[in-house]
C-alpha cells in the first residue's frame, strides 16, 4: 500500500518549479554504520500543539529521523508554540517567533491544536486562530487531503466493504480565502435590536484560478477526472467559482470536468465514493467534505494533509484534531502524523525515498495487525490493540 502513491509531486503543482533547495552539508558523517555519505540537512519547524499533538509528534520525529538516516538525509528540528500551548505561554495563538521560524524553515510539521480548556476564550483569541494565521502567513492556499482506504482496514469503515475498498480521492481545498477570512465579519445588532453574528464568503477570480490549476494538475497525474463542488444555484460567490473553473478547464482538455452542488457531493461521498478522483472546492465546503471523506477509512487517525503555496515552506498535518479526551494516555494513533511527514518529504523536501520508507513502515504495521483504539475492531482475527508508543516502536523496527 503506497498511501500517497497517486498524489502529485510538489514540482507539478500549477506548473510551479520543483522546490529542491541547495543541499546543506551537515558537517559530519551520519552515525549509522550503513551510511558513508554526508547527510543533507533539512530545517523543519515543528509545532506539537495541544492534546495528543506532542505524543504523535514524538513518534513522527523519530520515524522521520530513522528513515532519513537510511537515505543519507538529516533533519534539524526547531520546536515552536502554536494554539493553546502558545496562548498559555505568550497570550497569543501564533507568536511572532513561531511564524518567523516557519518562514525560515524548509517545511512545517504540525500535529494538532485546540481543546476544551480554551473554548470559552473570545473567538479572536482561540487556538484555531493560530492555525488560520500561519496558513495565511505562509500563503499556504492549497490544502491537499487524500482520502484513501487502506486494504487492511476496509472492514473497519462504517460503510460496506464493497463501497469503500479501493477508494482513492484527493480533495483540493482552497485554504486562505472564503468565509473563514472574508471581511466584514463580527457581531452586531439588526434593525430590530437583536444581536447577530455575520461572516462574508468572498473569492476573487485570481484566487479561484490558482486553486483550480492546482486541482487540474493533480487530476492530470491521477485519473484525469476533476469534480468542482460549490452551491451556484444559490450563492453568487459559487457562480463566480464555477465560471472561473470552467474557463481554466479549457487549458486542460485531457481532464474530464464535472460540477456538483455541495449537498449532493456530501451525499455521493457516502453513496458512491469511487465516483470521485479529485475534488476542488472552497474553504468551508472543503473543510466539511474532507472530514466526511476521511471517515470512509473508519478513522481520522489515518489520513495526512498538505497545505502548500507553490513557493516557500508548506504545512503538513494530520486531518484529525487534538483529541483532548485521550491526551496523555498513550492511546493516540500516530500513523496520520507519520504519513504527513511522508507528504512533507515528497512535496517540499524532494526526498521521495524517505517518504517511501515511512509509507512502507505504516503498511507493514497494518499488515502485522497492529491497531490503536480508533481503528481496532474487537473480534477481528489477527489484530492486536496497541498503545501509541507501541505503534511507534513497531514503525521504528520496520524502518
Cβ burial 287-307 (10 Å sphere, 16+ → b, else e): bebbbbbbbbbbbbbbbbbbb
251 is catalytic: no
- Distance, in Å, from the CA atom of 149 to the CA atom of 394, rounded to the nearest integer, reads 21
- 168 included as an active-site residue: no
Q: How many CB atoms lie within 10 A of CB 96?
A: 10
Choice among 40, 61, 231, 331 that is catalytic:
231
The active-site residue, picked from 168, 180, 277, 331, is: 180
Nearest to 209 by CA among 259, 253, 243, 256: 243
Residue 291 annotated to the active site: yes
Given the residues 50, 201, 287, 374, select the one marked as catalytic.
287
180 included as an active-site residue = yes
Asked if residues 100 and 82 have their Cβ atoms less than 8 Å apart, the reply is no
List 88, 96, 119, 263, catalytic entry: 263
198 included as an active-site residue: no
- Which residue out of 103, 242, 291, 376 is catalytically annotated? 291
Active site residues: 180, 231, 263, 287, 291
Amino acid at each position: 500500500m503506497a498511501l500517497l502513491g497517486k498524489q502529485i509531486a510538489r514540482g507539478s503543482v500549477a506548473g510551479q518549479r520543483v522546490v529542491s533547495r541547495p543541499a546543506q552539508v551537515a558537517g559530519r558523517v551520519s552515525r549509522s554504520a550503513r551510511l558513508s555519505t554526508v547527510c543533507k540537512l533539512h530545517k523543519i519547524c515543528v509545532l506539537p500543539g495541544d492534546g495528543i499533538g506532542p505524543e504523535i509528534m514524538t513518534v513522527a520525529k523519530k520515524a522521520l529521523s530513522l528513515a532519513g538516516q537510511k537515505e543519507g538525509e538529516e533533519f534539524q528540528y526547531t520546536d515552536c508554540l502554536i494554539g493553546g500551548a502558545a496562548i498559555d505561554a505568550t497570550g497569543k495563538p501564533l507568536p511572532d517567533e513561531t511564524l518567523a521560524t516557519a518562514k525560515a524553515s524548509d517545511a512545517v510539521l504540525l500535529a494538532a491544536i485546540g481543546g476544551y480548556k480554551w473554548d470559552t476564550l473570545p473567538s479572536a483569541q482561540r487556538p484555531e486562530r493560530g492555525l488560520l494565521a500561519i496558513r495565511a502567513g505562509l500563503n499556504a492556499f492549497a490544502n491537499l487531503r487524500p482520502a484513501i482506504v487502506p486494504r487492511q482496514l476496509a472492514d473497519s469503515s462504517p460503510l460496506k466493504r464493497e463501497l469503500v475498498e479501493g477508494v482513492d480521492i484527493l480533495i483540493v481545498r482552497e485554504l486562505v480565502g472564503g468565509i473563514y477570512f472574508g471581511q466584514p465579519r463580527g457581531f452586531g445588532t439588526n434593525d430590530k435590536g437583536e444581536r447577530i453574528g455575520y461572516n462574508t464568503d468572498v473569492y476573487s477570480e485570481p484566487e479561484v484560478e490558482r486553486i483550480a490549476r492546482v486541482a487540474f494538475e493533480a487530476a492530470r497525474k491521477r485519473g484525469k477526472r476533476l469534480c468542482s463542488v460549490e452551491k451556484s444555484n444559490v450563492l453568487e460567490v459559487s457562480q463566480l467559482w464555477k465560471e472561473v473553473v470552467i474557463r481554466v478547464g479549457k487549458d486542460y482538455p485531457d481532464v474530464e470536468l464535472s460540477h456538483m452542488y455541495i449537498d449532493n457531493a456530501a451525499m455521493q461521498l457516502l453513496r458512491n465514493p469511487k465516483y470521485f478522483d479529485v475534488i476542488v472546492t472552497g474553504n468551508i465546503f472543503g473543510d466539511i467534505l474532507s472530514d466526511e471523506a476521511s471517515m470512509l477509512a473508519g478513522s481520522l487517525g489515518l489520513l495526512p494533509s498538505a497545505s502548500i503555496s507553490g513557493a516557500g515552506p508548506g504545512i503538513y498535518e494530520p486531518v484529525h484534531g487534538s483529541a483532548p479526551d485521550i491526551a496523555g494516555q498513550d492511546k493516540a494513533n500516530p500513523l496520520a502524523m507519520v504519513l504527513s511527514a511522508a507528504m512533507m518529504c515528497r512535496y517540499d523536501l524532494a526526498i521521495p525515498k524517505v517518504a517511501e520508507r515511512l509509507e512502507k513502515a505504516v503498511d507493514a504495521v497494518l499488515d502485522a495487525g497492529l491497531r490503536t483504539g480508533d481503528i481496532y475492531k474487537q473480534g477481528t482475527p489477527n489484530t492486536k490493540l496497541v498503545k501509541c508508543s507501541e505503534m511507534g516502536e513497531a514503525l521504528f523496527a520496520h524502518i
